[in-house]
Structure formats: C-alpha cells, structure tokens
Amino acid sequence: MSSKVYRADARAGYRENLFDKLSRLLSEGNLGKTVQRGDLVAVKTHFGEKGGHAYIRPTFLRRVVDEIKAVGGKPFLTDSCTLYPGERKESVSALACAVENGFAFAVAGAPLIMCDGLRGHSARRVEVPGEVLNSVDIGLEVLEANTLVVVSHFKCHELTGFGGAIKNLGMGCSSRTGKMEQHGNVAPTVKTERCTSCGACIRVCAHDAITSEKGKAVILPDACVGCARCITICQDRAILINWGSESALVMKKMAEYALGALYGKKGKALFVNFVTQVSPSCDCYGHSDSPIVPDQGILVSTDPVAIDQASADLVNRAVGLPQTALANGHEEGGDKFRGVHPDIDWQVCLEHGEKIGLGSRSYDLIELQPKGKNW
C-alpha cells in the first residue's frame, strides 16, 4: 500500500516564504493528528558538527516547534552523542556545540535535551522483529516522549549512500552501544602502497585500533568499532572500507534500529525531510562540501521509508551540479548516490526497511500548491 508524502518545493517569494510553506506542509501532513494536547514531543534532529553548515537551520526548527505548540504539544529538541571522538562525544560538549551552531532556546523556542544522557549510555533495550537483530538499544528520552517528530537533513552518506529519516531514527536515536552495534562489523583496511606513513589515522583513532608496521598503517579489526573517522582523515585515500556486504549489513541493522526507535509510537511519529543543500557526506564531519543537486524542497510523511524513497527519487531526478563531488550521473535520472559513493548499494536500507515493516517504498507524492506566482 502506498504512503502519502507531502512536498513543498524550495521556491519562495513575497506571497509565501519557505517558513510559511513549512507551516502549511506540517498542517497538511497531519501534525495536528500526530500530536495530542499535553504531549511531550521529541523533535529529533542533528545539531551539526563544529565547522559544518549543511545541517538544518535552527530557525526552521523554530517553525516546527511553534507549530507543535500551536496544536498543544510540549516540544523539546533532541540529538544523541556520537560514537566517534569529536565535538559531540558526550552531552556537555554536544550541547555546547549545538548552541554554537545556533540551536539555543532563544532561537529554537524549545529546550535541548540529549536523548541518551550524559555519555550516550542512557538507554533501554527494546525487542524488534529484525532479521539481523532481535533487540536494539534506544536513547531513553526518545522512548519516554509521547510523540516523535524526526526532522532530517537529506544528503549523501559515505557508509549508507544517503542519510535521511531512517538514519536519523536508527543511528540518531540509538545509544553509543547501539551505534557500536550497528557499525561493529565494519573494519576498514589499509591499501599499503598508497600509505605515505603520515600517521594522521593513528592520531584520530580513539580506540587504538591502528598501529604502524614497517612505517605503514595497519588496522586491528578486533579493536576497531567501525566509526569510519580514519577513512576521511587519510588524504591519500589509503584507507578503504570493505563496502560490499559490510555496508549492507550496517544498513540492515540501521533499519532494524529505526523500528526500535518507533517502539510505542504507532500513529505518534511524523517525519520531515529537508532535501536542501544535499551535500556529499554525513553532517558529522567538521566541514560541509558543496551540494550536488539544486534544492528539492521539504517533505513530510508518517512513513520513514516512503519519505526517504521520495527524497532519493527527487535527488536522482534532478540534474547534478558541476564542480561538486558528483563524479558521474549528472544527467536527469542518473544515480547521484553512486555518483558520489560508487560502491554503496544505497537501496538496501529502503528494501530492508520495507521487508521488516518499517514502511512502504511506494508512495503518493502530494505537491503543496503555490500561493499564486510570487516572483
């Protein structure tokens, strides 16, 4: 059965700006039915890494917060600690980074509460009917909230092809243990002939999982948690992940984690995807590269699989932008995700999500009608 996905394109003018379009979209997308008066509403988003700028602007979150309040909900913004070391590895640093990125109460109009506690271990295990996992470790405050509104920046991703609602749910709502469980089977390898012995990967690895033999980096699979930090730090592209089946396994586990994050939220979850500034990599890096396609707008749905499928289809239908990380697939209909990350079968996440009952890949796209021509 098809799910409904509502879309507002990215055009704006004097009759209606993008904030007002977002309000109309939330109303048409049934925010009023998802949130009941008095509900504590977890608005799960990504607060952005220090140095990045592709994350959703806090002023858009403010509009989501205002609309939740208008229907009687009590919203709070939430995110989780990262598995890798960086500006967001525990709550104190993560919240300081969030405020630096503009996610302050004064801007967003709601408090910031990390969903997995001080160090990313405040969580509860919930059972899931998965194919790989039968239980998952979800941040406690996501489970405690009455309603979940998942506001995701849709972009490419080096491990899963793309990141959107499913990733924000599965990876983003899991505890540190959960993130390790999802990444755990992925150990990169070093292409020795490319290694210039700079030592950058050894310094960045927080798990002492890289050593040096005869001057060349060597990864110790037993110590590696699969955080992928070393891959991007290596300027010589000497560190490679066994992408094939390994990344597929991460995607399957992530979809199963997404199912767990929705535990107890039947009819109480709404997804908002910003298909804007579609950058080539994860927002967890301390930089954001140029977008690979023009902005495709904002989508709303109650189905995390349908909204991600619709977002991916919009990206692939667009004409790719030149002078970006997109290496091929620029033509209309070309595979933009493979064009950036050629070895990732990004469809696995959607296929598995549908298979385990997370949602439907078929959807009806309902376009928000413009309020007259206004440019």
Residues forming contacts to ligand SF4 in the complex (CB under 6 A) are: 188, 190, 195-201, 204-205, 207, 209-210, 217, 219, 224-230, 233-234, 236, 238-239
Give min distance, CB of 236 to ligand SF4, in A: 4
Name which of 40 and 240 has its Cβ closer to ligand SF4.
Answer: 240
Strands 123-127 and 239-240: unpaired
**Do 8 and 16 meet the contact criterion of CB atoms below 8 Å apart?**
no
Name which of 99 and 218 has its Cβ closer to ligand SF4.
Answer: 218
Q: Tell me the C-alpha to C-alpha distance, in Å, between residue 363 and each of 266, 274, 304.
A: 19, 17, 11
Name which of 191 and 265 has its Cβ closer to ligand SF4.
Answer: 191
Give min distance, CB of 292 to ligand SF4, in A: 25
Name which of 59 and 211 has its Cβ closer to ligand SF4.
Answer: 211
Look up residue 367 and give its two tokens. Answer: 């376009």
Q: How big is the chain by its Cα radius of gyration, in Å?
A: 20
Give min distance, CB of 91 to ligand SF4, in A: 21
Give min distance, CB of 208 to ligand SF4, in A: 8
Name which of 227 and 307 has its Cβ closer to ligand SF4.
Answer: 227
Give min distance, CB of 152 to ligand SF4, in A: 24
Q: Which neighbouring-strand residues pair with 156?
A: 162
**Separation between Cα atoms, residue 11 and residue 369, nearest integer Å:** 11
Task: Provide φ and ψ at 152, rounded to 5°.
Answer: -120, 145
**Do 308 and 336 meet the contact criterion of CB atoms below 8 Å apart?**
no
Q: Tell me the C-alpha to C-alpha distance, in Å, between residue 243 and each of 49, 96, 180, 193.
A: 24, 34, 17, 19
Name which of 189 and 328 has its Cβ closer to ligand SF4.
Answer: 189
SS (H, E, C) 180-225: HHHHCCCCCEECHHHCCCCCHHHHHCCCCCEEEECCEEEECCCCCC
Give min distance, CB of 189 to ligand SF4, in A: 10
What single DSSP character describes residue 142? Answer: H
Give min distance, CB of 194 to ligand SF4, in A: 7
Name which of 190 and 310 has its Cβ closer to ligand SF4.
Answer: 190
Amino acid at 187: A
